[in-house]
Amino acid sequence: MDVKEQIREWNGRRYYSLDCFLKKTFGRKLYKLSLNGGMTCPNRDGTISKGGCIFCSEGGSGEFAQSCFESIDIQIEKAKSLVKNKADGSGYIAYFQAFTNTYAPAEKLRALFTPVIMREDIDVLSIATRPDCLEDDKLKLLKELSRIKPVWVELGLQTVHERTAEFINRGYSLPCFDRAVRELKNIGINVIVHTIIGLPGESVEDMISSARYVSQSGADGIKLQLLHILKGTRLAQLYENGEISALSENEYISIIAQIIGNLNPEMVIHRLTGDGDKRLLIAPKWSGDKLHVLNAINHALKEKNIIQGGLV
């Protein structure tokens, strides 16, 4: 398939977007409903650490999720109301986003997830978690749920470089991630991996090599997240003390273009930047205009004649 045919296959984009994947797989657009299962994280409750990752805010990367003090049914209806003006005729992904959503006994998870995946208005169950919170009984549960409807598991990797992982206090090693991907794929689960672009101390080649590793890991999708420096985090303290800096817009766009060129063309790109809570965002402020950033990335890809997988 030549470049023009590939771009046509991807609905005019130079990469395999989530929107393209959803329309190809489900025949329509699906909207994410960000939910809160009321869990915490072993990297916050003292099991591994009490500090969490240095970039993680009090919301556990779930600032846009609903309140855990409300029932899941109420959360779903409230989340649907946020997209009601653009979701007519579309479906929904129930996205358990806040904190670590397999950090509970398997039976509690069964009681939480089963009613959600059984709902007629839910097309996909998506669960954000850590690779070190996927014990055998939880894998068995995920396999059972996937027989009902598609189940996606989103793993927070952030980087493949152990020195950076230690600095950000990730709390698990790379082989743990490898094992989780392998076990999830063995039971037929769609795996999406979160990476962060702009972590302190990493070179451009470090960031590209992390993306390459994910691309070759067996995972189905990737989220490329710009490092946001948020109020109340240890990362914010380092930034305010002048010990770290944030990427400029031009730097980020250049890095993203190179990463896209190095990704397997069959890997779905679920995210190219990210939404930081503007109430908490310290830097980079330019990231607040998401549409502008996405347009700039698309322009750079066209200008540099880069297509996903074209630099491999």
DSSP, res 271:
E
Q: How confident is the model at residue 85, as a pLDDT? A: 86
Burial group, residue 169, by CB count within 10 angstroms (0-12, 13-18, 19+): middle
Domain ranges within the chain, ordered by starting residue: 3-303
Q: Which residues lie below 8 Å from residue 48, measured CB to CB, with a gap of 6+?
A: 42, 132, 171, 172
Prior bond of 284 cis (ω within 30°): yes
Distance of CA 304 to the CA centre of its chain: 26
Q: How confident is the model at residue 62, as a pLDDT? A: 47
CA–CA distances in Å: residue 168 to residues 63, 126, 162, 178, 235: 20, 25, 10, 19, 9
Question: Any idea which residue has 């347009």 for tokens?
Answer: 295
Q: How confident is the model at residue 275, as a pLDDT? A: 74
| Pick from 161, 152, 136: nearest CA to 191 | 152
Q: How confident is the model at residue 92, as a pLDDT? A: 97
Rounded CA separation 247/226 (Å): 9
| Residue 297 identity | I
pLDDT per residue rounded down to tens, the chain (312 residues) = 788 899 999 999 999 999 999 999 999 999 999 999 999 999 999 999 988 899 987 754 545 667 778 999 999 999 999 998 888 878 999 999 989 999 999 999 999 999 999 999 999 999 999 999 999 999 999 999 999 999 999 999 999 999 999 999 999 999 999 999 999 999 999 999 999 999 999 999 999 999 999 999 999 999 999 999 999 999 999 999 999 999 999 999 999 999 999 999 999 999 999 877 888 999 999 999 999 999 999 999 999 999 999 998
Bridge partners of 95? 34, 126
Bridge partners of 190? 152
The arrangement of strands across the sheet holding 151-158 comes to 30-35, 91-96, 124-129, 151-158, 190-197, 221-226, 268-271
Question: Any idea which residue has 């059984």 for tokens?
Answer: 118
Question: Any idea which residue has 């500090």 for tokens?
Answer: 51
Q: How confident is the model at residue 60, as a pLDDT? A: 47
The tokens of 81 are what?
């109301």
Letter string b/e over residues 26-60, b meaning 16 or more CB atoms within 10 A of that residue's CB: eeeebbbbbbbbbbbbbbbeeebeeebbbbbbebb
The class that CATH gives domain 3-303 is: alpha beta
